[in-house]
Amino acid sequence: MTDAPLFVVAFLLLIAVLIVIHELGHFLVARLCGVKVLRFSLGFGKILWRRKWGVDQTEWTVCALPLGGYVKMLDEREADEAAPIAAAELPRAFNRQSVGKRIAIVAAGPLANFFLAILVYWLMFLHGSEALLPILGEPPAGTPAALAGIANGDRATRIGDTPVTTFEDFHWQVLRQASSVKSVDVELVNEQNVVRLARLDLSRLAAEGWRKEPFSSLGLRPYQVPAPAVIGEVTPEKPAAGAGIRTGDRIVAIDGQAVEFWYQMTDHIVAAAGRELGVTVLRQGEEIRLKVTPEAKKDGKGETVGFIGVGIAKPETPPVLPEMWTEVRYGVFEAATRSVRQTWETSALSLKLIGKIFTGEVSWRNLSGPVAIAEYAGKSARMGLESYLRVMALVSIGLGLLNLFPIPVLDGGHLMYYCLEVIKGRPVSERVMAWGQQFGLALLLTLMAFALFNDLSRLFG
């Protein structure tokens, strides 16, 4: 709860920036097309602040409900019968513009969101940062990564035909491949510099409807420090203390399976919430067999995991670790190219996953709403500016895509009407548009209800 103010501020700032950029796209292109803008609003509902500015005395407002905004343009269809539009201003009305200009004005909002994402990525690539190398950890038994033979310390250098240089690259390319194919070859280099190919089965994601975090579902994770499984601390009144585990005990086996490192021990415990485990410990040279039942708790991703209440002992000889980090920085033009490609690929992957939701290949529980966005914004803000900007770029791409969907009440719905006008040679009737508005609003509210339900389900378990 102590992070609640940070989450709220980070969310409101994120939403405000994205809405302002989106509406500025509409505003600037409308002005370029000669359309008079009456109001630029951040938010809906009761007006909290207003000011008129510019040659046209456009009213700039901030309203009480911040989840949206709008640009109100001069339009004969919305004019008051008691105060019709002056004849001299009719050429500046939105409805009097050519269909090409109306398409440009409406499309400018979503395009502005894509431009913001490109700009954010460009600045990040240009500035440079420390990035984690794609050195993988030992996967849990039975996962696709384990079946592919991936071992602790393996470094991924290529996925399919695409080279990877950072863990983030690796993560991204796995997601891209998983959206299109059922398996992929991963080129690996082990700690002895031996190169080999591992065939990674991606079909589990489809089987699970992408409900879990893809990396954990596949058994992929960063390098695990090979520290011995020696207990350094036992929390009172927790399962380990009740089972008789003591400080200094070395875990050598769990349910008959040999254990050497701490991460191997935690894998067993995490996967056994509420299930009794047989634990063999080495204490003063003697093997002792104990029984412990991990209690269930929620991890940071909302998954139920096992927990026994122990801490790791500081090893007498610290393990030798590989080089884990690299500096990633690009020149002006390469950064620009990469930022456009990143925005394009993120958009394409998002559309693929949305399509899979409608075909049933991806669970609708993957839909996220404002609560999830607020959570991501708050967590990223706590991690630093780079993480926050990365989330801003992702949400900006999502907002741009959402607004291009051919749903009446969204920009994409209006673009659909204008495209029909181009084909038919005349505007869509007001009756059809009114019906479309009702249908679009109902569909949008349904999607928002699903997303909010998912948010609350994740929040309250």
Q: Which residues are annotated as catalytic? A: 23
Please enumerate in sequence order all residues whose Cβ is within 8 A of that of 310, keeping only pairs 6 or more positions apart, or say none: 231, 232, 233, 234, 235, 238, 240, 245
Continuous segment of H or E residues that includes residue 72: strand 58-73
Burial class (CB in 10 A: 0-12, 13-18, 19+), 434: exposed
**411-424 helix and 430-460 helix, angle to the nearest 10 degrees:** 150
Which CB contacts under 8 angstroms, 24+ apart, belong to 151-154? 151/190, 152/223, 152/224, 152/226, 152/263, 153/190, 153/191, 153/223, 153/322, 154/188, 154/189, 154/190, 154/198
β partners of residue 156: 188
> DSSP letters of 243-308?
HT--TT-EEEEETTEE--BHHHHHHHHHTTTTS-EEEEEEETTEEEEEEE-PEEEE-TTS-EEEE-
